[in-house]
Amino acid sequence: MLEDTSFAIHPGQNQAMENGSYRDVGTVKSIQKRDGGLTFICDEADIHLQFYRSDIVRVVMNQRDIPDLESTPAVVAALESVNVGIEETDSRVLLTTNRLVVSVSKQPFRLSVLTPDGQVIVSEGDRGIGFKENGEVICYKKMEPEDRFYGFGEKSGFLDKRGETYTMWNTDVYAPHNPETDPLYQSIPYFMALRNGRAYGIYFDNPSKTTFDMKTEQEVYSFKGDSGKLDYYVFAGEGPKDVIEQYTHITGRMPLPPKWAIGYHQSRYSYESEEEVRALANTFKEKGIPLDVIYLDIHYMDEYRVFTFDKDRFPNPKKLVQDLREEGIRVVPIVDPGVKKDPEYPAYQEGVRNDHFCKYLEGDIYFGDVWPGTSAFPDFTDERTQEWWGNWHQFYTELGIEGIWNDMNEPAVFNETKTMDTSVIHKNDGDPKTHRQLHNLYGLLMGKATYEGMERNLNGKRPFLLTRAGFAGVQRYASVWTGDNRSFWEHLQMSLPMCMNLGLSGVAFTGPDVGGFAHDTNGELLTRWTQVGAFTPYFRNHSAIGTLYQEPWQFGEEYEAIMKRYIELRYEWLPQLYSLFHEAHTKGLPIMRPLMLEYPRDAKTYAIHDQFMIGDNTLIAPIMQPEVTDRAVYFPEGEWIDYFSGKVYEGGTTHLVHAELDTLPLFIKRGTLIAQSPIRTKTEQKELELHVYAHTKGSYNTSVYDDDGETTNYYSGEAMKLNLSIQCKDHQIAISYRNDNEMEWPLPYKKCSFILHGLVDDQQVWVNGERQSGVWTEQGLKVEVTI
**Residue ranges that bind ligand GLC, judged by CB under 6 A:** 269, 297-298, 334, 407, 468, 483-484, 517, 542
Catalytic residue among 160, 407, 524, 598: 407
Closest to ligand GLC by CB, 368 vs 575, is 368
Q: How far apart are alpha carbons 340 and 13 in whole angstroms?
A: 38
Q: How far is the CB of 484 from ligand GLC (least distance, A)?
A: 5
| 410 is an active site residue | yes
> Minimum distance from CB of 450 to ligand GLC (Å)?
16
Q: Are 597 and 481 in contact (CB under 8 A)?
A: no
Instruction: Tell me the C-alpha distance between 338 and 647, whole Å.
Output: 54
Q: Can you tell me the distance from the alpha carbon of 619 to that of 640, in angstroms, rounded to the nearest whole number?
A: 8
Cα end-to-end distance, the chain, whole Å:
64
Least Å distance, CB 327 to ligand GLC, is 24
- CA pair distance 72, 74, nearest whole angstrom: 5
Q: Is 484 a catalytic residue?
A: yes
For 637, phi and psi rounded to 5 degrees? -50, 150
Q: Which helix (H) or strand (E) holds 241?
A: helix 240-251
Other beta carbons within 10 Å of 113: 22
Cα 415–chain centre separation: 29
The residue length of the chain stands at 787
To ligand GLC, the closest distance from the beta carbon of 268 in angstroms equals 8
Residue closer to ligand GLC by CB (options 484, 551) is 484
Q: Give CA–CA dist 460/219, Å, rounded.
A: 52
Question: Between residues 468 and 669, which has the closer beta carbon with respect to ligand GLC?
Answer: 468
Tell the smallest beta-carbon distance from residue 306 to ligand GLC (Å).
12
Extract the runs of DSSP E, i.e. beta strands, from 297-392. 330-335, 339-340, 367-370, 373-376
CA 451/CA 255 separation, integer angstroms: 11
Taking the least distance from each CB to ligand GLC, the nearer of 162 and 519 is 519
Say what the alpha-carbon torsion angle 270, 272, 273, 277 is, to the nearest 10 degrees.
-30
Does the annotation count 302 as an active-site position?
Answer: no
Rounded least distance, CB 375 to ligand GLC, Å: 14
CB 104 within 8 A of CB 40: yes
Radius of gyration of the chain, Cα coordinates, nearest whole angstrom: 27
Q: How far is the CB of 338 from ligand GLC (least distance, A)?
A: 11
Using DSSP's 3-state secondary structure scheme, residue 698 falls into coil
Q: Which of 46, 136, 410, 513 is catalytic?
A: 410
Rounded to an integer, what distance in angstroms lies between the CA atom of residue 608 and that of residue 497? 9
Report d(CA 429, CA 388) in Å as an integer.
14
* Strand duo 630-635 + 618-620: pairing: unpaired
Which residue's C-beta sits nearest to ligand GLC? 269
Complex with ligand GLC: residue 484 or 639, whichever CB lies closer: 484
**Residue 506 DSSP class:** T
Comparing CB distances to ligand GLC, the nearer of 520 and 687 is 520
Q: Which is nearer to ligand GLC, 271 or 517 (CB)?
A: 517
CB of 283 to ligand GLC, least distance (A): 21
- Tell me the catalytic residues: 407, 410, 484
